[in-house]
Chain A
Amino acid sequence: MLGINQETPKIMHIDLNSAFATTEQQAHPSLRGKPIGVTNRISKYCCVIAASYEAKQLGIKVGMRLDEAKSIAPNFIILETDPAKYHHIYKILFSIMSDYSPNVVMKSIDEGVIDFHQTNSLHTQSLESIGLEIKRRVTSEIGNWMTVNVGIGPNRFLAKTAANLNKPDGLNVIDYHNLKTIYRSMKLTDITGIASHFEARLNAANIFSPIDFFNATGDELKRRVFRSVIGEDWYLRLRGYEVDNIATKLGSVGRQFVLDIKATDERIILPRFHYLCETTGKKLRFNNMDARGILVWANFRSGDNWYIRKMFKTYFYTDKDIYQRALYLFNQRPKDLTMTAMGITCYMLKPSLRNQISLFDEINKSDRLTTALDDLSSRYGNFTVGPADIIKSDKIVKQKIPFGSTRYFELLLESSKSSETVNQV
Chain B
Amino acid sequence: MDNTLLINERVEVVAVFKKTVDPGLLCFPAKMKYRNQLIEFSELGLRHPTTKGRKMIHVFDMSDGANDYRLEFDAESLTWTLIAIMEASYVGH
Q: Which residues of A contact B86 (CB under 8 A)?
A: 28, 30
Q: List 14 extra interface pairs beyond A88-B46, A141-B24, A384-B53, CB under 8 A.
A: A27-B46, A28-B63, A28-B86, A29-B43, A29-B68, A30-B68, A34-B92, A42-B1, A77-B3, A85-B59, A379-B54, A381-B53, A419-B51, A422-B54
Interface pair A77/B24, CB less than 8 Å apart: no
Taking the closest CB of chain A, its distance from the CB of B19, in whole angstroms, is: 16
Q: Which residues of A contact B24 (CB under 8 A)?
A: 140-143
Interface pair A84/B93, CB less than 8 Å apart: no
Taking the closest CB of chain A, its distance from the CB of B80, in whole angstroms, is: 18
Q: A380-B53, A422-B54 are in contact. Are A141 and B43 (CB under 8 A)?
A: no
Q: Which residues of B contact A34 (CB under 8 A)?
A: 91-92
Interface pair A84/B48, CB less than 8 Å apart: yes
Give the distance in Å from the alpha carbon of A142 to the alpha carbon of B22 in the complex: 10
What is the interface of chain A mostly: helix, strand, loop, or mixed? helix
Interface pair B63/A30, CB less than 8 Å apart: yes
Taking the closest CB of chain B, its distance from the CB of A38, in whole angstroms, is: 14
Which residue of the partner chain, among B1, B23, B93, contacts A141 with CB atoms under 8 Å?
A: B23
- Chain B's interface size range is 20 to 34
Give the distance in Å from the alpha carbon of A416 to the alpha carbon of B54 in the complex: 10
Interface pair B45/A28, CB less than 8 Å apart: yes
Q: A77-B91, A379-B53, A379-B54 are in contact. Are A29 and B63 (CB under 8 A)?
A: yes
Q: A85-B48, A88-B48 are in contact. Are A31 and B54 (CB under 8 A)?
A: no
Q: Which residues of A contact B50 (CB under 8 A)?
A: 84
Give the distance in Å from the alpha carbon of A85 to the alpha carbon of B57 in the complex: 12
Taking the closest CB of chain B, its distance from the CB of A9, in whole angstroms, is: 30
Interface pair A26/B45, CB less than 8 Å apart: yes
Taking the closest CB of chain A, its distance from the CB of B47, in whole angstroms, is: 8
Taking the closest CB of chain A, its distance from the CB of B7, in whole angstroms, is: 16
Interface pair A31/B91, CB less than 8 Å apart: yes
Q: Which of B52, B61, B67, B93 has the most CB of A within 10 A?
A: B61
Which residue of the partner chain, among A31, A141, A381, contacts B22 with CB atoms under 8 Å?
A: A141
Q: Which residues of A contact B15 (CB under 8 A)?
A: none
Q: Which residues of B contact A141 (CB under 8 A)?
A: 22-24
22 A-B interface contacts by CB (under 8 A): A27-B61, A28-B63, A29-B45, A29-B68, A30-B67, A30-B91, A42-B1, A42-B2, A75-B93, A77-B92, A78-B1, A88-B48, A88-B49, A141-B22, A141-B23, A379-B53, A379-B54, A380-B54, A381-B51, A381-B52, A384-B53, A419-B51
- Chain A's interface size range is 20 to 34
Give the distance in Å from the alpha carbon of A89 to the alpha carbon of B52 in the complex: 19
For chain A, residues 329 to 370, give those with C-beta under 8 angstroms from any C-beta of chain B: none
Closest to A70 in B: B1
> B88 at interface (Cβ–Cβ under 8 A)?
yes
Q: Which residues of B contact A140 (CB under 8 A)?
A: 22, 24
Give the distance in Å from the alpha carbon of A422 to the alpha carbon of B1 in the complex: 42
Taking the closest CB of chain A, its distance from the CB of B46, in whole angstroms, is: 4
For chain A, residues 367 to 400, give those with C-beta under 8 angstroms from any C-beta of chain B: 378-381, 384
Q: Which residues of A contact B92 (CB under 8 A)?
A: 34, 75, 77
Q: Which residues of A contact B43 (CB under 8 A)?
A: 29
Chain A, residues 10-49, CB within 8 Å of chain B (1/0): the string is 0000000000000100111111001000000010000000
Interface pair A84/B68, CB less than 8 Å apart: no
Closest to B87 in A: A30
Give the distance in Å from the alpha carbon of A265 to the alpha carbon of B66 in the complex: 47
Taking the closest CB of chain B, its distance from the CB of A271, in whole angstroms, is: 23
Taking the closest CB of chain B, its distance from the CB of A286, in whole angstroms, is: 15
> A423 at interface (Cβ–Cβ under 8 A)?
yes
Q: Which residues of A contact B22 (CB under 8 A)?
A: 140-141
Give the distance in Å from the alpha carbon of A87 to the alpha carbon of B46 in the complex: 13
Taking the closest CB of chain B, its distance from the CB of A411, in whole angstroms, is: 14
Give the distance in Å from the alpha carbon of A198 to the alpha carbon of B81 in the complex: 53
Q: Which residues of B contact A23 (CB under 8 A)?
A: 46
Give the distance in Å from the alpha carbon of A42 to the alpha carbon of B66 in the complex: 25
Give the distance in Å from the alpha carbon of A237 to the alpha carbon of B91 in the complex: 46
Q: Which residues of A contact B48 (CB under 8 A)?
A: 84-85, 87-89
